[in-house]
Structure formats: structure tokens, C-alpha cells
């Protein structure tokens, strides 16, 4: 339901449904974060991220993407470094954040550390 609201462009309705959910699972939390990121509401995404009882690689990657989109690459990198585990997508999103901010040397350095190429 909440993913459908996001697809329709209604982040307010999405958050209302999310807030009324009796039981939230990691997927519902992640959809909410991704929705806020999609609509450029990174502060709201961060609040949801901070309130999550459990996070996974998708949660972290969505926030890294959000920070990258608004040019907060240092925050993105700090979050990236704090991740318990990373996958190809999280590495790529972090590298893309550097490239999008014209920080090519850091993108290259990170690419060199990437275990899966």
C-alpha cells in the first residue's frame, strides 16, 4: 500500500499510512526512507532511518543515495563506512555520489577498494 502511494506521488499519504501501521517490518521502513529520498526530503528520511529498530544494506544505501543527491557526500561516506555490510549497489551508490560531486579522486580510491568489480 505505501509503495503504491509513493508511485502515485503522494508522500504525505504514504507517511500517513506508514504512521498508522500497527506492525512495521524492515521493508515498510525502507520504502518510507526511499520515498522521502525520492521526493528530496532527506531530513525526513534521516528521521525515519534513525527511528528504525533494525537496518539492513537497503536502509543504509537509500540514505547514502539521498545524501549524495543533495551533495552531502561526506555524510554519505560516514554512513557508508559505518555499514555493517555492503553490496555492489551500496558501493556503486557511494562512488556515484563522489562522481556527481566532481570528486573523482575519491571515487577512484573507493573503486580501488571495492571487492566486487
3-state secondary structure 51-100: HCCCCCHHHHHHHHHHHHHCCCHHHHHHHHHHCCCCCHHHHHHHHHHHHH
Residue 40 sits in the same domain as residue 65: no
Give whole-number Cα distances, 3 to 34, 49, 100, 116, in Å. 9, 17, 27, 30
Please say if the pLDDT value at position 53 is more than 80. Answer: yes
Mean pLDDT comparison of 7-11, 15-19, 22-26, 91-95, highest-scoring range: 91-95
Is the pLDDT reported for residue 13 higher than 90?
no
Do 41 and 63 lie in one domain? The reply is no
Q: What pTM, to 2 d.p., does this model score?
A: 0.90
Q: Are residues 107 and 61 in the same domain?
A: yes
* Sequential DSSP letters for 21-36: -SS--HHHHHHHHHHH
Are 35 and 84 part of one and the same domain? no
4-15 average pLDDT score = 74
* CA–CA gap between residue 82 and residue 76 (Å, rounded): 10
**pLDDT tens readout for residues 94-104:** 999 999 999 99
Does residue 4 have a pLDDT over 90?
A: no
Range(s) of the domain holding residue 26: 1-46
Question: Is residue 117 domain-shared with residue 62, that is, in the same domain?
Answer: yes
- When divided into structural domains, the chain yields a total of 2
Instruction: Say if residue 34 is in the same domain as residue 82.
Output: no
Amino acid at each position: 500500500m505505501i509503495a503504491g502511494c509513493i508511485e502515485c506521488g503522494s508522500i504525505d499519504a504514504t507517511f500517513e499510512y506508514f504512521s498508522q501501521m500497527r506492525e512495521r517490518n524492515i521493508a515498510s521502513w525502507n520504502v518510507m526512507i526511499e520515498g522521502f529520498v525520492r521526493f528530496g526530503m532527506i531530513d525526513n528520511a534521516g528521521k525515519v532511518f534513525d527511528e528504525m529498530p533494525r537496518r539492513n544494506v537497503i536502509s543504509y544505501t537509500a540514505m547514502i543515495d539521498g545524501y549524495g543527491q543533495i551533495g552531502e557526500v561526506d555524510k554519505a561516506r560516514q554512513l557508508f563506512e559505518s555499514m555493517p555490510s555492503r553490496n555492489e549497489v551500496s558501493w556503486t551508490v557511494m562512488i556515484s555520489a563522489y562522481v556527481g560531486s566532481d570528486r573523482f579522486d575519491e571515487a577512484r580510491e573507493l573503486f580501488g577498494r571495492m571487492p566486487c568489480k
